[in-house]
Amino acid sequence: MILCDIGNTTYHFKTKNSDFKIGVNETLTKIKSLKKQIYFISVNKKATKKLLKNFPNAIDISKFINFKTSYQGMGIDRQIVCKYIQNGIIVDIGSAITVDIMKKGKHLGGFILPGIGAYKRIYPNISKKLAFKFDTDINLDKIPLITNDAINYSILNSIIAPIKNIYKKYKTPIYFTGEDSKLLLSYFEEIPYKYKKNLIFNSMKKVIHKNIKGK
């Protein structure tokens, strides 16, 4: 079984023994040799078309996910990471940062912060003087005294403060997933959190076993 999470910028593949990404603008020919069944979810129509052109038998599992929420316009990737969490704040840190709240198995809503890559692009775009070197070794208890720190402090706080405020309100564990999570974990040490690297793939497997392979 090959799992694939198609995002805004990459195909993220997971096989039994490997885990790799391919940019959505790159060719898929180098994985043509993969013979197992591909199961995927996607938030990117164009990239889905390309996958299906190369692997016509790939199965879109989204129709089996059946996640109940009053939220309008929730991406399938957000739905699946939330699906099997009864109580928690689910933070998926990718090109955007989605934050969702689950309470007693019910989805209460969520919000969407810009991803770290987006913040990296935004500053030099405002002014050349705000070009900077990204750094996650910033003490957020000290007021910055140099522009590079001032920008990194702001990026980190812009992401961390809204998430901590949600934690203060709901007091339920945080589940981090998504590659860039590791950059931020050290700032959440006082909070009960779990880093679930494979949250999306593990949830996909559950959906597949319950609805397709288990049948």
Annotated catalytic sites, by residue? 77
Q: Please say which residue, 122 or 194, places its beta carbon nearer to its own copies.
A: 122
Is position 104 an interface residue for its own copies (rule: CB under 8 A)? no
Cβ at position 49, least distance to its own copies in Å: 15
Contacting residue, 27, 118, 209, 213, with its own copies by CB under 8 A? 118
Which positions ≥6 away from 173 have C-beta within 8 Å?
87, 88, 89, 192, 193, 194
Span near its own copies by CB under 8 A; candidates 118-126, 171-179, 193-201, 202-210: 118-126
User: Of the ranges 17-25, 29-37, 123-131, 202-210, which one interacts with its own copies (CB under 8 A)?
Assistant: 123-131
173 is a contact residue toward its own copies (CB under 8 A): no
Which residues does 69 contact at the CB level (< 8 Å), separation at least 6?
A: 79, 107
Which of 34, 54, 62, 114 contacts its own copies by CB under 8 A? 114
Q: 26-34: which pairs have CB atoms within 8 A and are 24 or more residues apart?
A: 28/54, 28/55, 29/54, 34/2
Return the axis-axis angle of helices 199-208 and 76-83, rounded to nearest 10°.
Answer: 80
What is the size of the binding site for its own copies (CB under 8 A)?
47
Tokens in use for 32?
A: 């043509």
The 61-100 site mask, x for binding its own copies (CB under 8 A), equals: --------xxxxxxx-------------------xx----
**Buried b or exposed e, range 86-106, using 16+ CB within 10 angstroms:** eebbbbbbbebbbbbbbeeee
> Which two three-digit tokens encode residue 23?
């940019």
Could you give the CA distance from residue 123 to residue 128 in angstroms, rounded to a whole number?
8
Smallest CA-to-CA distance from 119 within 103, 133, 129 is with: 133
Asked if residue 147 binds its own copies (CB under 8 A), the reply is yes
**153 near its own copies (CB under 8 A):** yes
Measured from the CB atom, the residue of 34 and 160 that comes closer to its own copies is 160
105 binds its own copies, rule: CB under 8 A: no
How does strand 2-6 pair with strand 106-114?
unpaired
User: Residue numbers of the site for its own copies (CB under 8 A)?
Assistant: 8, 43, 69-75, 95-96, 101, 108-115, 118-119, 121-123, 125-127, 129-130, 142-147, 150-151, 153-154, 157-159, 161-162, 165-166
